[in-house]
Amino acid sequence: MKILQVNTFDDYGGAAKAAYRIHRALVEEGVESCMRVLEKTKQDNTVFSDSSSIINSKIARKIYYRLNSFNPHLWRWHTDNNSLHTFGNISSGLTDEFNICNADVLNLHWISNMLSVKDIGMLRKPLIWTFHDMWPFCGGEHYSSDLPSARFRQGYRSDNRPSLERGPDLNRKTWNLKKTWWRNQHFDIVCPSRWLAQCARESVLFSDANIHIIPYAIETDKVWKPISREIARMKLGITSKKKIILFGALGGTKNQIKGADLLKAAIEEVIGQQDNSIELAIFGQDGRSSENTWPCPVYWLGEVKDEHALAIAYSAADVMVVPSRQDNLPNTAIEAQACGIPVVAFKIGGLPDIITHSQTGWLAQPFDASEMAFGIQWVLEDENRWNSLSELSRKNVLTKFSPQIIAQQYSKLYEMVIQNHASSK
């Protein structure tokens, strides 16, 4: 059984990290899995790219950033949805390569700038698509409203466009392309969270697809494990004895969907009640690119690319806060728990799949900054409680996100897809 994992990157962004971890879990379990990317950064001979792909990827990214600049003078188009948009019209010309390769199954992941909407419709191998966000069943949006009136549930019609969106309806155009090119394509879908699976099942595009829930994998022996708080802080040069709240995301506080503004409001309430007893650490961004308006001292850790360094950052903290407005199954919450750090978040998306309320952290009602502040205080105020939360957090990851368990679930799915494909011929 030969599996080809397909992702734009092998190490840039949460989807790439999750896809690579799934791939490595399979390799460690003896599955013949390779990973095809446009831009390779890892020293791993089971991951491959080529020079033409790198050139195409760099060109595609320049076009991509130009198309997604939200510049009204470029598109005369405006949206109040600040999530990433991909309009599915950029191809790296890899369709023929995938169709003639010796893989038994193609496992697509996050393929922006790698495969166009048309490319996906032209693939002829048995397909599994692991969704890492909402893009496959939306228009161009990677995250969209998940209300009952959401366009992905009703279809992208001319009469249900968001009122604050102006200019050409690029999302509707992209959705119609998907509907046309994927009409005869068969997908088995993997969603890492129950929330994303429910959205996919209720979407127009994938209402008839086979949808499976398999969470992400994370190894817990070499990197993602607890480290002494004192040693971790010493390595980071933190001498403070105060409680440290950790927040991190690609782009840091700039990404509105990650909810840094909600975290700031929560911290202001905590500060008002605890009188400067906490500090904040942020990774994914350095202090030079941020307005210093936080109500407490901030340690700017910058973009942390090395996993060992990131594990140290988790272990230096007392609580990880994930204040996302929408999220599938954020790696940060899983990584923090693997390091024995309780997590506070809003009860949205896939976060309830990671956090057990009042056992491994706190789930606040969306988007109540006061309740988030209460949850932060609740985690920090009692040492015995914290020790219990820490122990259960680690145990939760060992139980739910074990690479062996995840690899076995994927292996069974691959075998089923291969058998179904053979019987349909």
Percent of the chain scored above 90 by pLDDT? 82
**2-217+403-423 and 229-400: same fold?**
yes
* pLDDT tens-digit readout, 94-143: 999 999 999 999 999 999 989 999 999 999 999 999 999 999 999 999 99
> Does 54 score more than 90 pLDDT?
no
pLDDT for the residue numbered 275:
66
In single-letter form, the type of residue at position 40 comes to: K
pLDDT band at 215 (very low <50, low <70, confident <90, very high): very high
| Buried-exposed string 272-299: b where 16+ CB fall within 10 A, e elsewhere | eebeeebbbbbbbbeeeebeeebbbebb
What pLDDT is attached to residue 332? Answer: 97
Q: Cβ distance 107 to 128 under 8 Å?
A: yes
Residue pLDDT, tens place only, 19-36:
999 999 999 999 999 999
At the topology level of CATH, where does 229-400 sit?
Answer: Rossmann fold (3.40.50)
Task: Kindly report the CATH class assigned to 2-217+403-423.
Answer: alpha beta
- Pull the structure tokens for residue 206: 């994938």
401 class by beta-carbon count within 10 Å (0-12 exposed, 13-18 middle, 19+ buried): buried
Averaged pLDDT score across all residues of the chain = 92
Which amino acid belongs to residue 325?
R
- Tell me, what amino acid is at 26? L
Given a cut of 80, whether residue 61 has pLDDT beyond it is: no
Nearest-angstrom CA–CA distance, 259 and 302: 18
Task: Find tokens 């191998």 and name the residue.
Answer: 125
pLDDT of 57 strictly over 70: no
Query: Tokens 């200019």, residue?
Result: 167
CA 417 to chain CA mean position, Å: 25
The predicted-structure confidence for 390-399, as pLDDT tens digits, reads as follows 999 999 999 9
Surface-to-core class of residue 421, CB atoms within 10 Å of its CB (0-12 exposed, 13-18 middle, 19+ buried): middle
Domain limits of the chain?
2-217+403-423, 229-400
